[in-house]
């Protein structure tokens, strides 16, 4: 490793001491989510926070998930059983995986985040500053959109309060406690518990997705900046001065991408595996009850949109990383290599051969993070939906 590479590592370790205030707002919101949802695992932890973590994990994780699983054994119809398995259980499994990764890999996540603030990652002139600003704007836009729609999907469960059947938002049975017109107090407590529990689970899901999208977005930005720096090489002197640092930066980005891939593969492998079924189940549920008298159909529509966004975001940012790594090869060729000495031309030729293999990110080598994977998942969901609708119509 070159001296610049060693300086990069030292700078990264130093940046690890930086405060979260230096990050963009979506990352700071994620950090607050970690703290509220008992996932913030920075050492040392105070006695009060540890007590809060145990309380939160018991009442809003363990009890909630245990009750949800028990509901599978008290469903009255096969349709309800299939709905709860596809519509909720799969989502909760993915949420638990994201929570476990965040808590037990907290130091690694922080280290990856801190790398994005090191000196190598900062824009060097006005053009790079503008490229950086626009790319950060894209990350913020998608985060706010996803966060608002997810909040709306959970909040739409309040529509059940407009009905007279005393229905609960997510699961009808809870340890045999009676509720209804004769026990309105119990109904209010159970209703509030389910809404609060699902809201916190939504926050954990959104924060896990935001972590991945932020890191992929920052890698994508750096590929833009790297392409700009390669393209501006005009002479052998500039090449000798900048080439080693640029190659080091490229290798650091590749290593960072592999670290991100290894870190998030379990959760997003499960998410890719389940998303098609969840979207299909949500579409069937929404279409079967979509009429003016059934307000809760909007809950299913919002939930389906949130699930589609949850799938789209990693695919979008992963696709951008692959696309911009391909553009990098064009940027290297677009430099004024023809004005350089033969030695530099040979080095550039070897670099172009190295760049023939673009950056790609996969979930356990099964699912690629790109738009093709997203459209394939949606196509599978639509096929299953059409089949279920046709079967229902014939019956």
Tell me how far apart the alpha carbons of residues 210 and 143 are, in angstroms, rounded to a whole number.
7
> Is the confidence at residue 391, as pLDDT, over 70?
no
Q: Which residues share a beta bridge with 368?
A: 362
Is residue 82 in some structural domain? Answer: yes
Residue 108: predicted pLDDT: 94
Q: How many CB atoms lie within 10 A of CB 208?
A: 26
Tally of domains within the chain: 1
> Contacts from 382-387 at CB under 8 Å and sequence distance 24+?
382/280, 384/276, 384/277, 384/280, 385/280, 385/283, 385/284
Evaluate whether residue 248 is within a structural domain: yes
DSSP for 236-305, written as a single string: HHHHHHHHHHHHHHHHHHHHHHHHHHHHHHHHHHHHHHHHHHHHHHHHHHHHHS-STT-TTHHHHHHHHH
Which pLDDT tens digit goes with each residue over 202-217? Answer: 999 999 999 999 999 9
For residue 70, give the 3-state DSSP assignment.
helix
Contact present, 378 and 279 (Cβ < 8 Å): yes
Residue, of 86 and 186, whose pLDDT is higher = 186
According to the model, what pLDDT value does residue 16 have?
45
Q: Is residue 311 part of a domain?
A: yes
| Mean per-residue pLDDT, 117-133 | 90
Q: Which domain holds residue 175?
A: 21-393
Confidence of residue 316 (pLDDT cuts 50, 70, 90): very high
User: Do the Cβ atoms of 310 and 126 come closer than 8 Å?
Assistant: no
DSSP-derived 3-state class of residue 183: strand
Which range has highest mean pLDDT (16-30, 72-86, 315-329)? 315-329
Structure tokens belonging to residue 361: 């990110």
- Quick one: CA torsion of 347, 348, 353, 358, rounded to 10 degrees? 130
Q: How far apart (Å, rounded) are the C-alpha atoms in residues 91 and 273?
A: 11
Q: How far, CA to CA in Å, does 262 sit from each of 114, 216, 247, 266, 339?
A: 18, 13, 23, 8, 42
Q: Which residues pair with 367 in a beta bridge?
A: 363
Answer whether residue 40 shows pLDDT above 80: yes
Residue 284 near residue 79 (C-beta atoms within 8 A): no
Domain assignment present for residue 10? The answer is: no
Within 8 A by CB and 6+ apart from 158, the residues are 169, 195
| CA-based nearest residue to 337, from 265, 233, 245, 263 | 233
The mean pLDDT value for 327-351 works out to: 90
In a domain, 2, yes or no: no
pLDDT band at 13 (very low <50, low <70, confident <90, very high): very low
Question: Could you tell me if 64 and 175 are in contact, meaning their C-beta atoms sit under 8 angstroms apart?
Answer: no
pLDDT of residue 390: 66
Q: How many helices (H) and strands (E) does the chain have?
A: 13, 2
Average pLDDT over the chain, rounded to an integer: 85
Q: Is residue 9 part of a domain?
A: no
Work out the average pLDDT over 4-16.
49
16 in any annotated domain: no
Domain assignment present for 14: no
CA dihedral 200, 296, 152, 179 (to 10 degrees): -30
Element (H, E) at 367: strand 367-368
Q: Using CA atoms, how far apart are residues 175 and 186, in angstroms rounded to an integer? A: 12
pTM of the predicted model as reported, rounded to 2 decimal places: 0.88
Mean pLDDT lowest among 258-262, 287-291, 320-324:
287-291
């Amino acid at each position: 490793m070159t001296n610049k590479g060693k300086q990069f590592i030292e700078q990264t370790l130093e940046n690890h001491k930086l405060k979260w205030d230096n990050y963009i707002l979506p990352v700071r919101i994620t950090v607050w989510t970690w703290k509220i949802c008992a996932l913030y695992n920075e050492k040392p932890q105070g006695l009060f926070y540890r007590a809060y973590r145990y309380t939160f994990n018991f009442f809003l994780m363990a009890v909630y998930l245990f009750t949800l699983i028990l509901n599978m054994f008290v469903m009255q119809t096969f349709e309800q059983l299939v709905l709860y398995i596809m519509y909720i259980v799969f989502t909760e499994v993915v949420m638990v995986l994201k929570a476990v990764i965040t808590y037990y890999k907290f130091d690694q996540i922080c280290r990856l985040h801190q790398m994005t603030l090191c000196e190598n990652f900062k824009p060097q002139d006005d053009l790079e500053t503008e490229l950086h600003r626009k790319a950060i704007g894209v990350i913020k836009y998608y985060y706010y959109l996803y966060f608002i729609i997810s909040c709306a999907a959970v909040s739409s469960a309040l529509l059940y309060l407009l009905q007279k059947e005393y229905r609960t938002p997510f699961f009808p049975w809870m340890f045999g406690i009676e509720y209804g017109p004769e026990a309105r107090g119990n109904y209010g407590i159970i209703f509030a518990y389910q809404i609060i529990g699902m809201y916190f689970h939504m926050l954990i899901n959104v924060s896990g997705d935001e972590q991945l999208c932020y890191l992929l977005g920052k890698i994508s930005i750096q590929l833009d900046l790297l392409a700009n720096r390669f393209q501006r090489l005009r002479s052998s002197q500039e090449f000798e001065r900048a080439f080693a640092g640029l190659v080091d930066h490229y290798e650091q980005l590749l290593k960072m991408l592999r670290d991100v891939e290894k870190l998030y593969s379990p959760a997003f492998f499960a998410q890719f595996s389940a998303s098609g079924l969840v979207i299909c189940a949500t579409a069937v549920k929404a279409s079967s009850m979509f009429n003016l008298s059934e307000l809760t159909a909007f809950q299913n529509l919002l939930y389906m949109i949130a699930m589609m966004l949850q799938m789209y975001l990693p695919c979008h940012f992963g696709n951008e990383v692959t696309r911009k790594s391909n553009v990098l090869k064009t940027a290297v060729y677009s430099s004024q290599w023809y004005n350089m000495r033969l030695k530099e031309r040979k080095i550039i030729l070897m670099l172009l051969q190295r760049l023939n293999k673009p950056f790609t990110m996969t979930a356990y080598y099964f699912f690629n993070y790109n738009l093709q994977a997203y459209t394939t998942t949606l196509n599978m969901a639509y096929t299953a939906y059409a089949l279920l609708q046709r079967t229902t119509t014939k019956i």
